Structure 1
């Protein structure tokens, strides 16, 4: 797990990153800039329980690709979930909160993840224990903002012009960040890589 010290504002950006792409990088950079984060952790998951593992590249390969893609400035790339043998975000957050209790944490995700967030294990616990920043993605904005998560926690939405206050707010608190979007997806990339040349 990356180091940290009291008062740091850390964004946690988890995913299988299979493979990582410019859309992921845009989400990470948007969150860093708009939230005023001290650092952002790319947390490379052993495998998303909601996705097909038959097409999952080895974790070392995905780590190398994320390191090549991620900004060198104020970011950490880690796969500590594999060491602790956890696959659910709720378990990951519980471990980070226990071992880095002096950090101000924000969970960062794309709007495509927000649209299906209600299918995540213990999604209400996550929403009520860590602020969440959602970065817009192409063709999913309305579905994300109409999702069970968005409806259930509408009272806790923070206007995007106040996004920099998110790390300092008690959960539940979330914001939706509009801005430039990148249409690339891991599914599209895998399709290109498997297509005959």
Structure 2
């Protein structure tokens, strides 16, 4: 003999201010009633809304640095690649430095939004000039998104440029009116990435 269920009107139930993860909901699957815990519901909603992925990726960082000194030749308009490919640390899965045959090296990474900080410690003593103009060309997925210019007025000077990007490929090249040397150091000449989504 089947057990009969007690019938209660929903309006007769007391309200609960905050559901606990162990609390149970009744759900209908077709014409069959089943139960699900709030814990299961929360996990399902986080997955559907992408919150689990966001929590996994958010705040992950990587730093690539100049392993050895290199020169950026003085030019009449050409931009040269930056040999900044040594890994200081990396906890962003899938990010890598790619050495290009034309020396315009680049980085590839999972598509997303990143805060990128470019810092170059330049030696102006390699140049014959005391005052020098330099520029960075920043490309994301093959499109130029920034072209900042800097004026160097000292023998040694940091060139720093933070930028937020969205994409899966970053190429940074540099123009200099005269030959300058980029100094190798994990804390002076580097490209930092921080995942924002």
* TM-score, structure 1 as length reference: 0.25
Give the helix-richer structure, 1 or 2. Answer: 1
Give the strand-richer structure, 1 or 2. Answer: 2
Greater gyration radius: 2
* TM-score, structure 2 as length reference: 0.25
